[in-house]
Amino acid sequence: MHIRSLGQDMRVSAIGLGCMGMSQGYGPNPGSRRDMVDMIRAAVDVGVTFLDTAEVYGPFVNEELVGEAIAPIRDRVQLATKFGWDIRGGKSVGLNSRPDHIKKVADACLQRLGVETIDLFYQHRIDPNVPIEDVAGTIGELVQAGKVKHFGLSEVRADTLRKAHAIYPVTAVQSEYSLWTRDPEPEILPTCAELGIGFVPFSPLGRGFLTGTIDPSVSFPQGDMRATIPRFEADNMSANQALVNHIRALAEAKNVTAAQVALAWLLAQAPWIVPIPGTRSLSRLKENAGATEVGLSADERADLDTLAARVGVAGDRYSEAHMKLVGH
């Protein structure tokens, strides 16, 4: 596995592992907790050193799962987790990035993960009630205390990113980015390039759609977030099939998979981009890791670059309520 540098010389594997789906988001997990612990350790064995979790995943249980998995291999991984939610009675009831709350969450995350330091601590969503300068300053205090190494922001606007970075250096921005979600390209990616900040795409495979394994006839189980996302409504999936068909055709011509092409395209965008596909399958894990060996020619990259604009993408990437939480 190749190694890449995010901002502030944080070095991680070129492909990371998003762990959210092991606890929530995609319906009942076909595997046991033991299976997921083994999955995380298998990821590290194939060279994945960058693991992504958050307090709100579960809530809390995903951090505990990751903590159990990495206990014997802590020195081989970089851990990213997130703060920013007001969690009461086991549910998120809104945003909370007040400085005192961030400090409490940091201590709780350290305990659940069973570690002494959080490698990368993201603000999960921007809290409009708390100045970003206060958030960045609080992370600086946590770094000074040895509880955090690096500061990250998720789903942030370029102007907010600049304000935060001026107070305390931002190491990485995490946002949705893939061949069918190109929102970061106009402003966030150029800002990251200018300021020396890494970029971490979540849902780099379009929540599974870009793998070519989901079609309009699918019925999502209870608890699968895709049932609430407009882009996964049957009519929109039918319209978006042209995008997947193009990716699949290129993959077949190169004797690789559609998922590997989608990830290779992301890797080719910049050397400081590190996708974090999630999976609960060992075969998919190995497939995703293999994307680092897939080369795309300049013509192939250019063709993929214009793909979404050429064929169009139908449907929003989140529900209307969730879209209000992004881009602050």
Other Cβ atoms within 10 Å of 47 Cβ, number = 15
CA 244, chain centre distance (Å):
21
- Is 81 within 8 Å of 124 (Cβ atoms)? no
- Is 120 within 8 Å of 10 (Cβ atoms)? yes
Other Cβ atoms within 10 Å of 240 Cβ, number = 24
- Cβ-count burial 101-126 (b if 16+ within 10 Å, e if not): bbbebbeebbebbebebbbbbbbbbb
| DSSP code per residue over 102-163 | HHHHHHHHHHHHT-S-EEEEEESS--TTS-HHHHHHHHHHHHHTTSEEEEEEES--HHHHHH
Other Cβ atoms within 10 Å of 3 Cβ, number = 12
Q: For residue 169, is the peptide bond before it cis, meaning its omega torsion is within 30 degrees of 0?
A: no
Other Cβ atoms within 10 Å of 39 Cβ, number = 21
SS3 state at 248: helix
Q: Half-sphere exposure (CA, 13 Å, Cβ side) for 319? A: 6
- Please pick, among 57, 122, 177, 318, the residue that the annotation labels catalytic: 57
CA atoms 27, 28, 33, 34: torsion sign: negative
SS3 state at 171: strand
Residue 57 annotated as catalytic: yes
Q: How far is it, in rounded angstroms, from Cα 13 to Cα 84?
A: 26
Q: Which amino acids are annotated catalytic?
A: 57
